[in-house]
Structure 1
Amino acid sequence: MPFLRGSLGFERFSVAGFQADRFGDEHIEIFTQNAAGRNESSSTENVHVGFLAGDHLFDQAFDLSKNVINDAVHFSVRIDTNQIPAAIRAAWLSMELAGYAKDSPSGVPTKSQRKEAKEAVEQRCEVETASGKYRRMQQFPLLWDYANGLLYFGGSVGNSSAYCTDLLERTFEIELRRLGAGVIAQDWAVEADRYAEIDGLSPISFLDGETTGGHVWANEHSNAPDFLGNEFLMWLWWTLENESDTITLADETEVTLMLAKTLSLECPMGESGKETISSEAPVKLPEAMQAVRSGKLPRKSGMTLVRDGRTFDLTLQAETFGISGAKIHLDEDEEFDDEDRIDAIRTLGETVDGLFHVFCDRRSSDAWIKDIKKITKWLNVSDRSNQKAAA
C-alpha cells in the first residue's frame, strides 16, 4: 500500500459532511459496490472510475481490518480510459483519404468521400476500443484520515484528482476542498480571528517592500491568497539564514529545519523565466541569491524538518502546499508499524502547516513591517557584496 511504504507524495483536501463517527462494515460495503471494474457501461470509449483495496491494480478485496488503520482508511482509485489517441485517429483518417485521392482523377477526395473516410475511421475506432487494445489503467493511492477530516491524495491535482474526488463526493455524500496555501491561511485566520487581515493582503516585492501585481502562475479561478506560499518560503529562507534554524510553533513544540537538495524559482511577472538549483544546500549558492535579486520568488523547495525527535525530508510546492519525495527517518532499532506510519504522516502535515501558521501570524501583524525591512536590507547587502566580489 503506497502510503504505508516508501517515500510519500500527496496533496490534501478537507472533508466535510461525513456523518458517521467511525468507519464500519457498511462503508467497506460501499467501497466494494463501487470497486474498479465492477460496474462497466456498454460504451466502448469512456472513462471508468472505481475504488481499489490498495494492494495492486486489480485488488477488490476490501476489509475493515485491512483498510482501516489508526482511524484512517487506506485505499486507491483506479481510472480506466478506453480511448483511441488523437494522433492515431488522425493517421487512420489520412490513410483513408490517401486511398480515395489515389483513385480520384483530380487527386483530391470529394466531399462525400471525406465523409465516407470519417465513417470508416469511426467504425475502426469502435472495433479497436472493443478489443481493449487501447485500454489504460491508472491507480492513485488515497488516505482518508476521517479522525481529522482530511484526505491525502497521492498525486498532483488535475484531471485525475477531479475524477477521484468526484467519485468520493458522490459515493459518500461528502464535500472535499483542496487545501492549498491560500485556503490553509484562510482557515488559520478564522481560528485566530485574523480573517480581515489575511483577506486584505496583496503580493509583496521583497526587493523594496512594496505591494505588487498578481503572480503569473496564480489560479484565476480562486480568490484564496496562494501567493502567501511563495512568501512563506522566502521568509523561511531569510529566517534560517539570519535569525535561527529553530522555529517555535503555536503549541510550543520546536521545529529545527534546513532548506536542502532543491530550489525552484520563477519570476512572478513572467519576464525572466524559471530556475532550478540542485545542491545539498541550494540557498547557500550565489546563483540562488542572484535569482531572488533579479525578482524571482521560490516556488518549490526541499527541506529537512526535525520535530519531537522525528526527522523528515521533503519537497514543498509553495502555492499548492503539495508534498513530494517525503521520507520518514527511522532509528536502526526502531519498531515502526502501519499505525506509526499514519501518525508520522499526520505529524508531517501538522508540522508544515504549523510553520506556515507562524508565518501567517507575522504576515498579518505589525511584526511584518520589521520583518520585511530586515529581508529587504538582507537582499540589498547581499547584492552589494556580490557586486564587490565581482569587481
Structure 2
Amino acid sequence: MPFLRGNLGFERFSVAGFDSQIFTDEHIEIFRGNAAGRNESSSTENVHVGFLGGDHLFDQEFDLHKNVINDATHFSVRIDTNQIPAAIRTAWLQMELAGYAKDSPSGVATKSQRKEAKEAVEQRCEVEAASGKFRRMQQFPMLWDFANGQLYFGGSVGTASAFGIDLFERTFEVELRRVGAGLIAQEWAIENECFGELDDLVPARFVATHEHHSLPWANEHTQLPDFLGNEFLLWLWWMTENDHDTITLADDSDVAVILTKTLALECPGGESGKETISAEFPTQLPEAMRALQSGKLPRKTGMQIVSDGRTFDLVLQAETFAISAAKIHLDEEEEFSDDDRIDAIRLLSDTVDMMYHAFLARRINKDWDKEIKQIEKWLKRPESTQIKAAA
C-alpha cells in the first residue's frame, strides 16, 4: 500500500460533486464492479482500466475496513495495454517484404505484395496479442481524502495515468481539477477577497537584464498563474540564504525550512537551457547562484521542513506542486498507525500550501517592490562573498 508505507510521491486533484459525507458499502460495490482484470480482450489497440484494492497488482478485494482509513479511501488503478511495439511491427514488416523481394526478379516487392505483407503483419499482431506476450500493466496508487475534497494521485500525471483519472470521474460522477501553483493561488485569493490583486500580477523580473512576459514551460491551455510557483521557490531560496529559515503561517504556527539535496533551474527565455545540481545544500554552491544571476528560475528543489513537531523531506515541483521522494521522519520507537500516516500526509500538503500562501500574501503586498530590490541586491553579490557565506 504505497501511501501507507515508504516514501511518498503524488500530485493532487480537487474533487467536486461527491454528494456523500461518508464512504459506504454502496461505494465499495462501485469499486468491485469496476475492478481491474474483470474484462479481458485480445485487441491489439485496447486499453483496460480498472480499480485495485491497493495491496498489489492483482488485488480485487475491497471492503470498508481495509480501504477506508481516517476519512480517506486508499486504492489503486491498473491500466492494461495490449499493444505490439511499433519497432516490432516495423521489423516484422521488413522481414515480410524481404521475403517477397528475394523471390522477385526486380529484387523489390510489388504493390500487391506490400499489401499482402501488411496484412500478414496485422494477422501476426492479433495472434501475438492474444497470447498476452505484450501485455503491460501499470499501477497507480490513489488516496481519496473525501473528507477534505482531495485526491492524491501516486505518480506523475501523463497520458497513461489520464485513463485512471477519467475512470474515477466517470465512475463516481465527480469533477477533478489538478491542484497546481496557479489554482492554489487563485483559490487563496478568492478566499481572502484579493482576486483582483492576484489577477493583475505578471512574472517578476529578478535580474534587471532579463525580462520575460511568459514562461516556455507554461501550460498554454490555462490562464492560471502557475509562474508564481517558480517565484515561490526563488523566494524561499532568498529567505533561507538570509537567515530567515522560519516562516510564520496564517494560523500563527511556524515552519522551519532548509533547501537540500537537489535543485533544477531553467532559463525562461530559452537561451541558456536547463541545469540540475545535486548536493547536500545545492543552493549554497556558486554555480547555483550563477544560474540565478544568468536569469534562470528554479523549477524543482528538495527541502526539509519541520511543521507541528513533524519533520519531512521532499522534492517540490514549482508549477504543479507535485511532491516526490517525500519521507516522514519518525521518532525512535514511535508507534505510527495508518491513521497517523494519513494525518501526516495531510499535514505535509497543508504545510506546503500555507508556506505558499505566506509568499502570496507578500507577493500582492504594496511592499513587494522593496522585496524585489532586496532580492536583486542579493543576486548581485560577488562570488567571493557567496563562497564565504556558504562556508
TM-score, normalisation: structure 2: 0.97
Which one-letter code corresponds to 1:237 in the other structure? Answer: W
1:382 to partner: Cα distance: 4.0
Report what 1:307 is aligned to. Answer: 307
Whether the 8 Å contact between 2:9 and 2:326 is mirrored in structure 1 is yes
TM-score, normalisation: structure 1: 0.97
Higher mean alpha-carbon deviation, 334-343 vs 234-243, is at 234-243
1:45 to partner: Cα distance: 3.1
1:199 to partner: Cα distance: 1.5
Residues 209 and 72 of structure 1, relative CA distance in 2, 3 Å threshold: farther
Report what 2:369 is aligned to. Answer: 369
Report what 1:166 is aligned to. Answer: 166
1:227 to partner: Cα distance: 0.7
CA distance in structure 1 between the aligned counterparts of 2:285 and 2:384, rounded to whole angstroms: 16
CA distance in structure 1 between the aligned counterparts of 2:211 and 2:182, rounded to whole angstroms: 17
Report what 1:297 is aligned to. Answer: 297
* Pair 1:3 & 2:3 matched: yes
Structure 2 gap segments, 5+ residues each: none
Whether the 8 Å contact between 2:30 and 2:171 is mirrored in structure 1 is yes
Alignment partner of 1:80: what SS? strand
Alignment partner of 2:189: what SS? helix
CA distance in structure 1 between the aligned counterparts of 2:334 and 2:42, rounded to whole angstroms: 52
Report what 1:75 is aligned to. Answer: 75
Alignment partner of 1:381: what SS? coil
Report what 1:99 is aligned to. Answer: 99
Which one-letter code corresponds to 1:47 in the other structure? Answer: V
1:381 to partner: Cα distance: 2.4
Higher mean alpha-carbon deviation, 219-228 vs 64-73, is at 219-228
Report what 1:24 is aligned to. Answer: 24
Whether the 8 Å contact between 2:79 and 2:137 is mirrored in structure 1 is yes
Report what 2:180 is aligned to. Answer: 180
CA distance in structure 2 between the aligned counterparts of 1:349 and 1:137, rounded to whole angstroms: 29
Report what 1:288 is aligned to. Answer: 288
Which one-letter code corresponds to 1:288 in the other structure? Answer: A
Equivalent residues in 2 for 1:186-205, closer than 5 Å: 186-205=186-205
Residues 382 and 233 of structure 1, relative CA distance in 2, 3 Å threshold: farther
1:220 to partner: Cα distance: 1.0
Report what 1:261 is aligned to. Answer: 261
* Pair 1:13 & 2:13 matched: yes
Higher mean alpha-carbon deviation, 240-249 vs 14-23, is at 240-249
CA distance in structure 1 between the aligned counterparts of 2:16 and 2:67, rounded to whole angstroms: 21
Alignment partner of 1:319: what SS? coil
Whether the 8 Å contact between 1:14 and 1:177 is mirrored in structure 2 is yes
1:208 to partner: Cα distance: 2.2
CA distance in structure 2 between the aligned counterparts of 1:202 and 1:117, rounded to whole angstroms: 57
1:41 to partner: Cα distance: 4.4
Which one-letter code corresponds to 1:376 in the other structure? Answer: E
* Pair 1:379 & 2:374 matched: no
Residues 209 and 178 of structure 1, relative CA distance in 2, 3 Å threshold: farther
Residues matched between the structures, number: 388
Higher mean alpha-carbon deviation, 51-60 vs 234-243, is at 234-243
* Pair 1:156 & 2:125 matched: no
CA distance in structure 2 between the aligned counterparts of 1:211 and 1:95, rounded to whole angstroms: 55
1:384 to partner: Cα distance: 8.2
Residues 213 and 316 of structure 1, relative CA distance in 2, 3 Å threshold: same
Once the two structures are superposed, residues 219-274 of structure 1 have per-residue CA deviations (whole angstroms, 9 ceiling, x without a partner) of 11111111111000001111111251100000111000100011111111111011
Once the two structures are superposed, residues 136-176 of structure 1 have per-residue CA deviations (whole angstroms, 9 ceiling, x without a partner) of 10100000000000000001011133111100000000000
Alignment partner of 1:244: what SS? coil
Whether the 8 Å contact between 1:83 and 1:134 is mirrored in structure 2 is yes
Which one-letter code corresponds to 2:330 in the other structure? Answer: L
CA distance in structure 1 between the aligned counterparts of 2:38 and 2:381, rounded to whole angstroms: 64
Which one-letter code corresponds to 2:93 in the other structure? Answer: L
Whether the 8 Å contact between 2:206 and 2:372 is mirrored in structure 1 is yes
Whether the 8 Å contact between 1:209 and 1:372 is mirrored in structure 2 is no
Give structure 1 regions of 4+ aligned residues with deviation exceeding 6 angstroms. none
* Pair 1:136 & 2:159 matched: no
CA distance in structure 1 between the aligned counterparts of 2:38 and 2:234, rounded to whole angstroms: 48
Report what 1:88 is aligned to. Answer: 88
CA RMSD of aligned residues (A): 1.6
1:212 to partner: Cα distance: 2.1
CA distance in structure 1 between the aligned counterparts of 2:2 and 2:226, rounded to whole angstroms: 28
Whether the 8 Å contact between 2:268 and 2:296 is mirrored in structure 1 is yes
Alignment partner of 1:197: what SS? helix
Which one-letter code corresponds to 2:223 in the other structure? Answer: N
CA distance in structure 1 between the aligned counterparts of 2:20 and 2:382, rounded to whole angstroms: 56
Which one-letter code corresponds to 1:20 in the other structure? Answer: S
CA distance in structure 2 between the aligned counterparts of 1:66 and 1:386, rounded to whole angstroms: 53
